[in-house]
Amino acid sequence: MLEIKSLHKKYPSGPVALRGVDLTVNEGDLISLIGPSGAGKSTLVRCINRLVEPSSGQILLNSTDICKLSSGALRKARKKIGMIFQEYALVERLSVMENVLSGRLGYVSFYASLTRKFPQADISEALRLLDRVGLSDYVDTRADQLSGGQRQRVGICRALLQQPDFLLIDEPTASLDPKTARQIMRLITELVQERNITAIINIHEVTLAEMFSKRVVGLKEGRIVYDESAGGLTNEALTLIYGEEDWESAKTGADGNLREEVV
C-alpha cells in the first residue's frame, strides 16, 4: 500500500509543484494521473522514488516513509520500485538484452554488473519477458535501431525484471502514435494484472486513462481535484481538471468516434 500525506514540493528557483497532496493506493491497484501540463503529475511520480526530493510530507510505502530513508536504505527500497520513463532511458549502444538485464543491476555484485555477467535465471526471465512483449527476435539488436514502441517495450521488460512490488509509469505513450499507444497501455495493464503489481501511470491522453484504468486521479495546480472511477469523468469533471472547453467536440470526431487526443 502507498500512502501519501500532505506532500509539498517547491523547486528552488521555480513554482510550487505540489500543494499538500494526499493519496492512497491499495495493493494491486492501477491508477491513472491526469491533468494539464504543469499540474504536478510528473513531480508526484518522481517524488515517490525520490528522483525528485519532496519539500515536506510523507510517502509511506508498505508503512516505510520513503522521505526519511538514508541513501543506502533508499537504494534498497528502489529495488522494489520499478520505473518506466517517457524518454525510455535506454543505453543506445547496448543491445536489447543488455538493456533489459540492467533491471537486475541492484541484485548482482559490482563485478557482475561491470562485466555484464548475470545469473542464468535472470537471463531466462529476460528472454521470457521479451517473448511476452513480442521482442524475442530483437535480443541482440542495438537500442538505437528500435522504433519508439519497441523501445518502450524494452523499458517495460527492464522495469519488470526488477520484480517490483510498485511500478511508476511516466507518460508511456507521449511519443507514440495512437495505435501503438493503445498497444502499450494494453500491454502494461495486462502485465501488472498478471503479476499483481501496484501501479501509477502519469498520462496525458484522457481516453486511454478511461479505457485502461478503473480509477483516475486528476491534478490541477499541484492539488488533487478529482479522485473517482474512470467512468465518472463527465464533462463537468473534465472542466474541473482542465478548465472550460467544449468537451463533446473534443471527445468525438466527425465520424462520432472517440479521439485519442482529448487534451
Query: Are 138 and 173 in a shared domain?
Result: no
Query: Are 171 and 159 in a shared domain?
Result: no
Query: Are 176 and 252 in a shared domain?
Result: yes
Q: In the chain, how many domains are there?
A: 2
Q: What pLDDT score does 110 carry?
A: 56
Distance of CA 90 to the CA centre of its chain: 15
Domain holding 113, by residue range, is 86-163
Confidence of residue 232 (pLDDT cuts 50, 70, 90): confident
**Order of strands, sheet of 64-65, starting from the edge strand that comes earlier in the sequence:** 16-25, 2-10, 56-61, 64-65
Query: The whole model's pTM is what?
Result: 0.85
pLDDT digits (tens, 9 = 90+) for 113-132: 566 778 899 999 999 999 99
Query: Are 53 and 90 in a shared domain?
Result: no
pLDDT digits (tens, 9 = 90+) for 132-191: 999 999 999 999 999 989 999 999 999 999 999 999 999 988 878 889 899 999 999 999
Query: Are 171 and 76 in a shared domain?
Result: yes
In a domain, 231, yes or no: yes
Q: What pLDDT score does 87 carry?
A: 75
Helix (H, G, I), strand (E, B) or coil at 168: strand
Please state whether 250 falls in left (phi above 0), alpha (psi between -120 and 50) or beta: alpha
Helix (H, G, I), strand (E, B) or coil at 126: helix
Query: Are 102 and 73 in a shared domain?
Result: no
Query: Are 94 and 145 in a shared domain?
Result: yes
Query: Are 113 and 70 in a shared domain?
Result: no
pLDDT greater than 50 at residue 263? no
Burial (0-12, 13-18, 19+ Cβ within 10 Å), 126: buried
Query: Are 127 and 63 in a shared domain?
Result: no
Query: Are 139 and 38 in a shared domain?
Result: no
pLDDT digits (tens, 9 = 90+) for 17-58: 999 999 999 998 999 999 998 899 999 999 999 999 999 999
pLDDT greater than 80 at residue 109? no
Return d(Cα 115, Cα 120) in angstroms, integer: 14
Query: Are 76 and 116 in a shared domain?
Result: no
